[in-house]
Amino acid sequence: MSQPELYLKQNVVAEPLYNQWYAWWFLASPMTAPLFVANLHVKIMESFVANPAIHVAALKSPALQGGPYINHGVDRLGDIKALLERTVREEALSLEYARAVLELDALLDSAEGFSLEELYPRVPDVLRGYVELTYDLKNRASPRFFEPLLYRSPFHRTSSQSLSMRLVHKDARPYVFSTPRLDTTDGSLMAKVPYRSEAIDRLFAMRHQPGPVAPVREALAIEAKDHDTFASFFTEQPPRPAPRYDGEGVRVRYFGHACVLIESRQVSLLTDPVISYDVPSDLPRYTYADLPERIDYVLITHGHADHLMFEPLLQLRHRIGTVVVPASSGGGLADPSLKLMLQQLGFQNVVALSELESLPIPGGELIGLPFIGEHGDLNIQAKLAHLVRLEGKTLLMAADSNALEPRLYEHVHREVGAIDMMWLGMESEGGPLSWMYGPLLPAPLQRKMDQSRRLNGSNAARAIELARRLKPGQVHVYAMGREPWLGHVMVMGYHENSPQLVESRKLIAWCRENGIHADMPYGQAEHFLR
């Protein structure tokens, strides 16, 4: 008897997890994952086990929602303790790696400009053969990790990867980066498969192509106790049709945050995918159902968790042609290779683009442009603004560029000419350096230093200087996490007088005074360039 062919429901959430913690780029690279396990996850769980009441009390304050506090009640103390013990046991090699990185840092601090050859035998044993010891031109020593080798080493723990799935009926989801998932009392289930598993592609292809449920359930190794829950994820109801754009010129659709779909008759491009699920809401939005069945190019501007988001990327992997990422040399703890990372995540065609490098696309080309700022002054190369030339029109996806040096954009304008449409984020007061990069630091930064080196985008003055020099015909400012489907990764808590919104309004006012169409879309928007 043949099985009925069903569709995956549009409101099935699938969170990639690493040791039951929400996964992002630093948990995907074996160069950095052990440091986050040791210096973040273990420490947060130890803090909770020592005094869970502090965590409960802290999270009553909206200002501390994005802090290192576990969002579980005191009654879950035993579960957190059990997860901590299991993590320490199963991640013993990762913890050894983290200790070795600290020892290596201390060893290199002893170098005084003389040859580093004699230090190789003193590298901690667990790291030997995985690092090169180098100087910069000021005789400061640092390691370069052989990141490709680490992906083929015991440090790359695909056994720690899994997928947590459940149905959602509203946008609001708890903040994910400080709290591990403990159980399935909310109607969720765990699929213990690595991120690169083809079973994930088979599952999410059923969003728009029906199929039998049992083969996918078996491929995902869903436990018998979860079969009924898994069955509830499917429906006979097909999704609404989303025909490929077939009009003149270029259609531009805003999906929220920094996610923009750019389409011509020949090609489709999606930037920094962050997609809403289809849930009841009064706020108009585009969802997964509004994406074309084939996305020819996905453009990633940088690795921050609200731009390189594994949750939507894994769900879209089966329909993506090419992923374009910023090139980096790799080997530096703060700057893992995005190309290598996405290849290991199962993406078949990943192109790394450098500054002013061009990639032909049907009806035009992509050009990588410099993206400065927003990374706490760290030497991070894996960040890139994307210039899209399509059907005679030019769009600049500037991401969170902080125009620290306005003259840069004079040089850029000389090279690329007129820009019809520019998209820009203006997180003018970002988090301190330690909020994102703290687990990688060998020692805590002084508070004043940490607060000085914030992850800032442009304020109004800098964005205006950028617009003066690039002379765009239109300027659109990303909503910067205000959309309700971003709350689980961005606890922004904006109000009308928040600096980010005040600065954005100043830029918009300046643009309008100077004959430039400008706005700050929220939820969804549609534009045409013809």
Distances (CA, A) of 94 to 33, 87, 116: 8, 10, 26
Instruction: Tell me what pLDDT residue 99 has.
Output: 98
DSSP SS3 for 491? coil
Instruction: Tell me what pLDDT residue 1 has.
Output: 59
Spatial distance between the Cα atoms of 445 and 130, rounded to a whole number of angstroms: 27
Phi-psi region of 129 (alpha: psi -120 to 50; beta: other; left: phi over 0): left
Instruction: Tell me what pLDDT residue 468 has.
Output: 96
User: In which residue are the tokens 């449409």 written?
Assistant: 421
Spatial distance between the Cα atoms of 288 and 323, rounded to a whole number of angstroms: 18
Which among 286, 339, 231, 316 is positioned nearest to 483, based on CA atoms? 286
User: In which residue are the tokens 């011509």 written?
Assistant: 264
Q: What is the pTM of this model?
A: 0.96
Which among 515, 379, 495 is positioned nearest to 437, based on CA atoms? 379
Which are the contacts of 136, defined by CB distance < 8 A and separation ≥ 6?
142
Rounded to 5 degrees, φ, ψ at 382 are -80, 65
Cβ proximity of 352 and 366 under 8 Å: no
Which among 357, 297, 349, 351 is positioned nearest to 325, based on CA atoms? 351
User: In which residue are the tokens 């560029």 written?
Assistant: 401
Cβ proximity of 454 and 412 under 8 Å: no
Spatial distance between the Cα atoms of 386 and 305, rounded to a whole number of angstroms: 18
Instruction: Tell me what pLDDT residue 63 has.
Output: 81
Distances (CA, A) of 336 to 25, 30, 165, 346: 8, 9, 28, 17
State which residues of the chain have pLDDT below 70: 1, 184
Return the HEC string of 279-321. CCCCCCCCEHHHCCCCEEEEECCECCCCCCCHHHHHHHHHHEE
Copy the structure tokens of residue 246: 């077939």
User: In which residue are the tokens 């969003």 written?
Assistant: 207
Return the HEC string of 222-276. CCHHHHHHHHCCEECCCCCCCCCCCCCCEEEEEEECCEEEEECCCCEEEECCCCE
pLDDT digits (tens, 9 = 90+) for 112-171: 999 999 999 999 999 999 999 999 999 999 999 999 999 999 999 999 999 999 999 999
pLDDT digits (tens, 9 = 90+) for 477-515: 998 889 999 999 987 777 788 889 999 999 999 999 999
